[in-house]
Structure 1
Amino acid sequence: MKNAFIFLILAATVIPLSSCTTTSEASRRQSESITARSGVRTLVAKNWHIDDDCRHIDYPAIHIVERPQHGRLEIVHEPLFPKLDGKASKCEKTRVNGVVGYYTANPGYTGKDRLVIRSPYEEGKTEEGVLNVTVVK
């Protein structure tokens, strides 16, 4: 079984600024900083649960721990390509059903925002993702 959780940084719409990961036996925490445009829907997270033959098993949970104060976070089910940052996978060119997170800053807002989401990544383990957002025009 494969289950992955990542923050996806899209070169055309966001710029990564920093990353930090802390771990324990049952959980890990990852921080990312991005720049997003005001009022523009931006992909920030993807999660999937597939078997070794790239077949959909189920929709993994993504829980919103802290909602953004200056925008909204949407969690939707949609097809995606299960690509892990820096890791090759035989499934990365296969579209699978997954869970996707989109952040949209309030129109006209510029400044800082933050959101926190939590998701499983292995049997009995969770990952918490902290996204620090700089919103520009």
Structure 2
Amino acid sequence: MVAAAGVLAIGCAFGWQLPLHQREREPLSRQDDLAALSAAVGRLTRPGEPVLYDPPKERRIAIAYPRPLAGLRDIALGTPGPASGTLYGVDVGPTELLRRLDGARSAWLIAADEPETRGPKAPVLTGHFRLAYSLCLRGVRLERYVRAGPAH
């Protein structure tokens, strides 16, 4: 009798939560579309090109969909996640980032589409590069910058 009541209670709880679970799985329930961004990165980039994540939490795309980003150089990463004890790693400062960009003809920026979360990387790029391509998806942007003048 107790077992039957337990099974009934679990069945009712499952039935009550099922519509909420299904709604959570719909594409429009998410604040971002990492799958679409990953597909765009795979189409637009070439292996060896530098990529920057601004802020570092945008590396979540590389964690969730590593294949399209596997050949890109994470040029701003100073200490990887595991070595730093963080999920997304620790970035270098603007001076070191500028040194690492020396000689680069272009760079990709994967950035949060909220101005209040932007870090110091975009200003480093806009000071020496010009925006050549921009793709805005739900919650995230993919931008390609090309050097404004001759590479050093």
TM-score (norm 2): 0.29
Greater RCO, CA 8 A, separation 6+:
1
As a proportion of its length, which structure holds more strand? 1
TM-score, normalisation: structure 1: 0.31
Q: Which one has the bigger helix percentage?
A: 2
